[in-house]
Amino acid sequence: MLKDLLNNNLRNTDLGLLMLRIAGAGFMLTHGYGKFMKVLGGDFSFGDPLGLGPEVSLILTAFAEFICAIFVLVGFKGRLFSLFLMFTMLVAAFIAHGADPFQKKELALLYFFIYLGIFLMGTGKYSVDGMMKKNQ
């Protein structure tokens, strides 16, 4: 069975992309859910890393970490929505945690590279995008 999986590169790629989406976007939801609930609850206390104001910063971060993560998770327009997540992770790593040691930046950078992989390779066959492509 392992030999069959290793010899089927297309299936491996699609399964790999599915796992990447589940891990990267699924785990991101744990970060975004609380921020999304803050927005819905009207609590806009948040950092202001780009000078847009804490309200706008929170809304944009919640949008990326919760809404965009859902779209990436199911594989709908994953390349587009991964861009928002990549930008948010770069802001987290280099601006919000810019003065912190590498260990504080590491998680945001790991997420960044997951979303970069999804951006470069797409969402794969096991996604909404893949199903829509198959039906065309």
For the stretch 43-93, pLDDT in tens is 999 999 999 999 999 999 999 999 999 999 999 999 999 999 999 999 999
Distance CA 63, CA 94 (A): 20
- Give the least confident one: 13-17, 28-32, 60-64, 86-90: 13-17
Number of Cα atoms under 13 Å in the Cβ half of residue 114: 25
Using CB atoms within 10 Å of the CB of residue 30, give its burial: 0 to 12 exposed, 13 to 18 middle, 19+ buried: exposed
Residue type, 120: L
pLDDT in tens, 124-134: 999 999 988 87
Q: What is the pTM of this model?
A: 0.89
